[in-house]
Structure 1
Amino acid sequence: MNPLGYFVTIDPDECRSLIGDATVGRVSWVSQSRGIQVLPVNFVLVGNRIVFRVAEGTILQELTQPVEVAFQVDDLDASTATGWAVLVQGTTRAWDGELPITNAWALGRRELGIAIEATAWSGRSVSADAG
């Protein structure tokens, strides 16, 4: 057994497929007012866009303007030492289309839609053994 595990690159199409089944990811960017931010959001995949809603007056409202971001989703199982992680890079913009998020984890109104226009998809799967 390799104590470092085995990593396999995931192609962009599989990355999109994997996060299409997920509901929570982390968006990260450098805020002009507060520095590096990494925050969880409920999201949906709409074509090649990652779309989510935010509340007015929160730091996430910054993302209604064009901002370079990274978006990360993973699924890791500590008991089997297996999993995957997908990283999407892109630029945010305001989203006024429909957003079918019905199971938001946090309570409250989120009236502002944000879309990440993906420019790059990358991912890795990990396993404790080569099998």
Structure 2
Amino acid sequence: MPGPANDPAVCALNYVVSEGTIAFRTAPGVATAAAVDSEVAFEVDHIDDSTSQGWSVLVVGRCRTVTDPEEVRRLTASAHTEPWAGGRRTM
């Protein structure tokens, strides 16, 4: 549970990378939606236990809501945009 509005929050989510854009679905009123119009950090990690190797990628940028209908169609047609946890995410 995130703390006060200015505290960082870590949220697990499904995402897609398409044409240089990192996109995820969210819903109004949840922590990820509160990040709109804010500077955010996005991190992806992978560990391969069999080789004792791994990697991390960290990207920092501005979070925005996608409103262009063509961009929404392009992003929702990509893999991994359906949330594993279920539930409706309209943003």
What TM bracket, shorter-length normalisation? 0.7 to 0.9
Find 2:87's aligned residue among 108, 111, 114: 108
Q: List runs of 5+ in structure 2 lacking aligned partners.
A: none
Structure 1: gaps spanning 5 or more residues:
1-29, 113-131
AA in 2 matched with 1:108:
G
Distance (whole Å) between structure 2 residues aligned to residue 95 and residue 51 of structure 1:
9
CA contact (8 A) 1:44 1:52 kept: yes
Identity of aligned residues (%): 37
Could you tell me whether the CA contact under 8 Å between 2:25 and 2:81 is conserved in 1? Answer: no
Give the TM-score normalised by structure 2. Answer: 0.75
Kindly indicate whether the alpha-carbon contact (under 8 Å) linking 2:16 and 2:81 is maintained by their aligned counterparts in 1: no
Q: Given residue 44 of structure 1, which amino acid in structure 2 is its aligned partner?
A: V
Task: Quote the residue 1:86 is aligned against.
Answer: 57
Report the Cα offset of residue 108 of structure 1: 0.1
Aligned twin of 1:74: 45
Q: How many residues align?
A: 82
Query: Of the two, which has the highest radius of gyration?
Result: 1
**Alignment pair present for 1:41 and 2:13:** yes
**1:43–1:51 contact (8 Å) kept in structure 2:** yes
